[in-house]
Structure 1
């Protein structure tokens, strides 16, 4: 069973499963999901807790001993296991062995990072999904973030006008942890309700945060204004231009290859499968190719090459200017601008 964090409270009304796997890239929602599972378990007599990290130094035998031991003070216990970004064969085998030893007085709380499709097809992930619910905790997109912040304001006894709510989502995109802290502070100020845009701008310091991968989808969707905002924020956060050049080069190469396959008469889905494009990204890339003909892709490649050349000359400012021009070049019906 696959659950999302907002579905967890209702699920728990039917009782605890023997194992939960909470994974994803949103730290606050992940922490809250695990805390809810711990509280529910404690209310049902799981008073003892052991925590392990499944890194290379993990003593798996010690973990197994803890999972089978009965304490003098507690008959039921929680074993928490944090998984790394990648599991080697030994860790995968031992994890599956651990899952086979579940019993009613043991609750396994396993956490991990965001997983790609290949990892979700692995034997260890399938074993986890068969043993208990998997809880996917992903960073909310802008629309989901607005709804999420509105609910959190309501839970804190606050309301916000629509423009104020959207400004709050804009100010904390990618940083829900900071947003939750600001909402707690707002609740203590006894401000007039509903909160206005002017009030929030006076009381709240924006703390948005992006990772480099979040630049790609807005560009492919033609949402250039959003992409430019992300690009400027990434620079402020100290992301290296070279990293962005690498990611953009890989994305443009994929688009070029898909375009070549299509021009040769190959169906899109067949071409995408040959290039190992994840099925979840195929609609996005297919739509992008409808907006980006071969000539435009070639011009975008020229801009990227100029950014790479600027980096080779240790001209970081010029590289960022080329990257900004590259983003603008993704506009529909907008020929890419070649800077002097």
Structure 2
């Protein structure tokens, strides 16, 4: 069963499952989901907690010893295990062995990073899915972020006018930890309700945050202004142009391979599967191929090559200019003129 963080309160009213796996790349939502599960467990008599990190030096025997021992003070206990980016064969085998030991007086709370489709097909992930609810956590996308903020404000007894809410979404996109702290601060200031744009701008310091993987999807969606904003913010945050070149090269090369496959009569989903493109991203890739001609895609790749040459010449400013031009190049389907 898959649960989302906002579904946990209703789920926990019906009781605790023996095992939960919270995974994803959003630290605030992961921390809050774990806290909610810990509180629910304490209310049911799970007074003892053992935490382990499954790194290379993990002593799995210590986990099994903890899971099988009873203290003098508590007959019910929590084993909390934080999984690494990759789980080796030993870790996979021991984890599945641990899951087989679940019983009513033992609660397993497992936390892990964001997982790709290949990782979600592994034996250990399937064993976790059989053992209890899966709780994926990820930051709300730009469309749903204002609603998330509205709910967060309501939780603290606050309301915001529509323009104030949209400013808050713009000011903190990608940084839930920061905006959660600001909302808590606002709740202590006894401000007039609903909060106005002027009130927020006087009392809140903007702090948005993006990661490099968020750059390409707006380009696929035709949201070029948003992509340019993300690009400029990434530069301010110290992301290296070379890293973006690498990521964009992979995505543009995938588009080119898909385009060639379609030209040779290959079904899109077959070509996408061969390139290991996530099913959730395939509609975006398919849609952009309807807008980009082969000549335009070649021009975009030429721009990326120019950025690479600038990096090789240690000219970072020139590389960033080419990256910005590449983003703007997604605006229409006309071929671009690339200077030699």
Please identify, of 182-191 and 237-246, the stretch whose mean Cα deviation from structure 2 is larger: 182-191
> Partner of 1:78 in structure 2?
78
Which whole-Å CA distance do the structure 2 matches of 1:270 and 1:154 have between them?
46
Q: Confirm or deny: 8 A CA contact 1:54 1:82 kept in the other structure.
A: yes
Q: Confirm or deny: 8 A CA contact 2:84 2:112 kept in the other structure.
A: yes
- Cα deviation for residue 255 of structure 1 reads 0.5
SS in 2 for 1:103: coil
User: TM-score of the superposition, structure 2-length normalised?
Assistant: 0.98
> Partner of 2:145 in structure 1?
145
Which whole-Å CA distance do the structure 2 matches of 1:240 and 1:294 have between them?
29
> Partner of 2:285 in structure 1?
285
SS in 2 for 1:117: coil
Which whole-Å CA distance do the structure 2 matches of 1:160 and 1:339 have between them?
49
Which whole-Å CA distance do the structure 2 matches of 1:39 and 1:78 have between them?
11
Q: Confirm or deny: 8 A CA contact 1:322 1:339 kept in the other structure.
A: no
Which whole-Å CA distance do the structure 1 matches of 2:46 and 2:218 have between them?
45
For 1:99-138, what aligned pairs fall within 5 Å after superposition? 99-138=99-138
Gaps of 5+ in 1: none
> Partner of 2:314 in structure 1?
314
> Partner of 2:326 in structure 1?
326
Which whole-Å CA distance do the structure 2 matches of 1:259 and 1:207 have between them?
39
Which whole-Å CA distance do the structure 2 matches of 1:335 and 1:201 have between them?
42
Which whole-Å CA distance do the structure 2 matches of 1:226 and 1:136 have between them?
26
Which whole-Å CA distance do the structure 2 matches of 1:339 and 1:188 have between them?
57
- Cα deviation for residue 144 of structure 1 reads 1.7
Which whole-Å CA distance do the structure 1 matches of 2:293 and 2:184 have between them?
49
Q: Confirm or deny: 8 A CA contact 1:328 1:336 kept in the other structure.
A: no
Q: Confirm or deny: 8 A CA contact 1:83 1:111 kept in the other structure.
A: yes
- Cα deviation for residue 265 of structure 1 reads 1.3
Q: Confirm or deny: 8 A CA contact 1:326 1:336 kept in the other structure.
A: no
Q: Confirm or deny: 8 A CA contact 2:307 2:318 kept in the other structure.
A: yes
- Cα deviation for residue 335 of structure 1 reads 4.5
SS in 1 for 2:81: strand
User: TM-score of the superposition, structure 1-length normalised?
Assistant: 0.98
> Partner of 1:155 in structure 2?
155
For 1:201-280, what aligned pairs fall within 5 Å after superposition? 201-280=201-280
SS in 1 for 2:135: strand
Q: Confirm or deny: 8 A CA contact 2:295 2:335 kept in the other structure.
A: no
- Cα deviation for residue 334 of structure 1 reads 5.2
Aligned length: 340
Q: CA RMSD in A?
A: 1.1
Which whole-Å CA distance do the structure 2 matches of 1:338 and 1:201 have between them?
42
Q: Confirm or deny: 8 A CA contact 2:261 2:271 kept in the other structure.
A: yes
Which whole-Å CA distance do the structure 2 matches of 1:41 and 1:178 have between them?
28
Query: C-alpha offsets along residues 20-48 of structure 1, whole Å, 9 cap, x if unaligned?
Result: 00011111111010000000000100000
Please identify, of 265-274 and 67-76, the stretch whose mean Cα deviation from structure 2 is larger: 265-274
Gaps of 5+ in 2: none
> Partner of 1:302 in structure 2?
302
Which whole-Å CA distance do the structure 2 matches of 1:46 and 1:189 have between them?
37
Q: Confirm or deny: 8 A CA contact 1:325 1:337 kept in the other structure.
A: no
Query: C-alpha offsets along residues 191-238 of structure 1, whole Å, 9 cap, x if unaligned?
Result: 121111122112111110000000010011110000000000000000
Please identify, of 193-202 and 19-28, the stretch whose mean Cα deviation from structure 2 is larger: 193-202
